[in-house]
């Protein structure tokens, strides 16, 4: 395992695109949350009555403990940025035929996939660390109530990690299947941003069914329910979404295993 990890690091550490996208991700996650936070501050710090009304309605989604939930939700929207790296890490191996060269040099197909599994895991952990740092900074700087619990929702780090890992695994599967980076990224982004949200809503409102929750991205998307200030619009639905999280942990874990099972199977069967 260590040898695989070391080899993957040799591949990645001098890969300019990896560092560029990592840098962009490192800026995006704090940046986007800072932007939402700034909007919130502008709305609520007005001295007029409207500012007070907004503050009463929204509460303080950027203070603990709600900061965990709020920032997780907003950050999860941008998983397609680290997905770029994940897709490139597999599609480049096809483009430059280094996948086959790794096998020729002495790796098994399983070794190669294990290396990619490690890559996706590490990228997920990196993104999760970014998320955690952003939460801690924003949360601690916005929490004025000494009685507020800082850590009661800290488990959202694990939920965020699981969701990120699940969705990046799906991005990897698309890359493995398509083998071309631009096309894979286009398919993944299109599905992530356009297709699945539409499908979920069509299934929910037209067919009056909740089966949309089992679509591949939606399964993990429901690990991170909307923050309270949005959920208050429909309290019943909001409560249901919070209660469903534990089921979606199991569903997501199952989907992750299925995703990587398919990846290993494709790798085993396919000619290079």
Q: In whole angstroms, how close is the CB of 178 to other proteins at the nearest point? A: 20
Using CB under 8 A as the binding rule, whether residue 7 contacts other proteins is answered as: yes
Q: Is 6 in the site for other proteins (CB under 8 A)?
A: yes
Kindly state whether residue 118 participates in binding other proteins, applying the rule CB under 8 A. no
Using alpha carbons, select from 256, 37, 69, 271 the residue that is nearest to residue 153. 69
How many other C-beta atoms are found inside a 10 Å radius of the C-beta of residue 3?
A: 10
Residues 103 and 191: their CA atoms lie apart, in Å, by: 32
Among positions 33, 102, 114, 143, the unique one binding other proteins when judged by CB under 8 A: 102
In the complex, the smallest distance separating the C-beta of residue 117 from other proteins, rounded to whole angstroms, is 17
Q: Which is nearer to other proteins, 16 or 146 (CB)?
A: 16
Considering only 95-103, 141-149, 184-192, 232-240, which stretch makes contact with other proteins by CB under 8 A? 95-103
Cα(28)–Cα(4) distance, integer angstroms: 30
Structure tokens, 240: 């249901």
Instruction: State which residue, 3 or 152, has the beta carbon closest to other proteins.
Output: 3
Minimum Å distance from CB 78 to other proteins? Answer: 26
Residues 54-83 that bind other proteins (CB under 8 A): none
Of residues 34, 43, 78, 111, which one binds other proteins by CB under 8 A? 111
Give the Cα separation of 133 and 131 in Å (integer): 5
- Number of C-alpha atoms within 13 angstroms, CB side, residue 72? 29
Do residues 161 and 125 touch, judged by C-beta distance below 8 A?
yes
Cis amide leading into 228 (omega within 30): no
- The site for other proteins (CB under 8 A) is made up of 3, 6-7, 10-11, 14-16, 92, 96-98, 100-108, 111, 269, 271-272
């Amino acid at each position: 395992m260590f040898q695989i990890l070391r080899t993957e690091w040799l591949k990645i550490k001098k890969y300019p695109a990896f560092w560029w996208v990592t840098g962009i991700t490192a800026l995006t996650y704090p940046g986007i949350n800072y932007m939402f936070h700034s909007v919130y501050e502008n709305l609520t710090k007005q001295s007029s009555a409207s500012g007070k009304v907004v503050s009463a309605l929204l509460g303080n989604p950027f203070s603990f403990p709600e900061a965990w939930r709020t920032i997780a939700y907003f950050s999860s929207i941008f998983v397609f940025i680290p997905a770029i790296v994940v897709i490139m890490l597999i599609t480049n191996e096809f483009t430059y035929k280094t996948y086959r060269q790794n096998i020729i040099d002495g790796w098994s197909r399983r070794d190669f996939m294990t290396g990619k599994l490690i890559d996706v895991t590490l990228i997920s952990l990196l993104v999760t660390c970014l998320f955690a740092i952003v939460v801690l900074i924003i949360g601690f700087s916005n929490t004025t109530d000494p009685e507020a619990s800082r850590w009661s929702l800290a488990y959202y780090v694990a939920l965020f990690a699981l969701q990120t890992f699940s969705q990046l695994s799906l991005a990897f599967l698309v890359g493995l299947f398509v083998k071309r980076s631009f096309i894979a990224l286009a398919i993944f982004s299109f599905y992530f941003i356009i297709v699945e949200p539409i499908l979920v809503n069509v299934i929910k409102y037209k067919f009056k069914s909740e089966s949309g929750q089992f679509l591949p991205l939606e399964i993990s998307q429901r690990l991170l329910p909307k923050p309270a200030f949005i959920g208050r619009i429909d309290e019943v639905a909001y409560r249901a979404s919070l209660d469903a999280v534990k089921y979606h942990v199991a569903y997501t874990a199952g989907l992750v295993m299925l995703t990587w099972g398919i990846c290993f199977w494709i790798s085993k069967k396919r000619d290079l």
